[in-house]
Structure 1
Amino acid sequence: MRQRQTILGVETPGPGLTEITQEIAEWIADTGITEGLLTVLCRHTSASLMINENAAPAVRRDIVHWLDRIAPESAAYEHDDEGPDDMPAHLKAALTGVNLSIPVLGGKPLLGTWQGVLLVEHRARPHRREIALHLLGE
């Protein structure tokens, strides 16, 4: 059994979903590990990860709008240390999660036809996010 780890830096443009499937697939291919399990971790409390539709841009917009309805900016939150988008970002990250487990087969992530790995930025301004990748396999 072999393992590899790395940190993937991702620039986000602000709120929305940034696809990182290709970057992850390229890193997996570079490891030489063809079968195993990939763990993906977003190292932040105001951004998250999801696997979802990667073909229709409307899906991404609808997800962002839904999250905004579930956790809107509001003066009602006690925690607002970094501005009015601070606590809603934490809630959205709690709802969507910060880690994924993805099987690897044939040196590729074993995703469905229309699935992509998406980094979800919940803050109002652009950020540089770190995504930890850990691959265990043969």
Structure 2
Amino acid sequence: MRSTVIAVHTGGTEVVRDITPECTAFAQDAGGDGLLHIFVPHATAGVAILELGAHSDADLLAALRDLLPADDRWRHAHGSRGHGRSHVMPAFIAPYAIVPVLDGTPALGTWQSIALVDLNVDNPDRAVRLSFLTSAG
């Protein structure tokens, strides 16, 4: 298994950040066939595979705002207003994804991208662990 950590600056706003280029470069460097595992070791972020560039990122953030409002309902109440929702979000958008890799290229669909989803405006920098797994035989 090969593994690396990439730094992703998310800033101080809710964000859906495209990390496909970094994932693709890592898979190409690893080469061959296998599985790319993308993991966010944070309690308030997730990984999604979706179409980006056609406002799906804005639609996802709007849906998360509807589902998980940034208000005072959350018992986990430190940090910015509504911070507790950031701790609930990974139950809806998992902190990991697995993508097949064929000949060093992630086998994503035509419109699919790999994105880091972060609602936590209190933490502007994230680490994302990329791991490439191949079979021994």
1:33-59 CA-to-partner distances (Å, cap 9, x unmatched) read 310011110111111110000231x21
User: How big is the shift at 1:125?
Assistant: 4.8
Asked if the contact 1:46–1:90 (Cα under 8 Å) also holds between the matched residues in 2, the reply is: yes
The correspondence of residues 43-122 of structure 1 with structure 2, limited to 5 A, is 43-56=41-54, 58-122=55-119
Asked if the contact 1:85–1:124 (Cα under 8 Å) also holds between the matched residues in 2, the reply is: no
2:129 corresponds to which of 93, 116, 132: 132
Counterparts of 2:53 and 2:75 in 1: how far apart (Å)? 38
Asked if the contact 1:51–1:118 (Cα under 8 Å) also holds between the matched residues in 2, the reply is: yes
Q: Count residues with an aligned counterpart.
A: 134
1:82-129 CA-to-partner distances (Å, cap 9, x unmatched) read 222311111222211101011000101110000000001111356111
Question: Which ranges in structure 1 are unaligned for 5 or more consecutive residues?
Answer: none
| Structure 1 residue 28 corresponds to structure 2 residue 4 | no
1:7 corresponds to which of 5, 10, 13: 5
Residue 84 of structure 1 aligns to a residue in which SS?
A: coil
TM-score for the superposition, normalised by structure 2: 0.91
**Identical pairs, percent:** 28
TM-score for the superposition, normalised by structure 1: 0.90
Asked if the contact 2:80–2:122 (Cα under 8 Å) also holds between the matched residues in 1, the reply is: no
Output the amino acid matched with 2:20: T
Counterparts of 1:110 and 1:40 in 2: how far apart (Å)? 14
Question: Which ranges in structure 2 are unaligned for 5 or more consecutive residues?
Answer: none
Asked if the contact 1:34–1:106 (Cα under 8 Å) also holds between the matched residues in 2, the reply is: yes
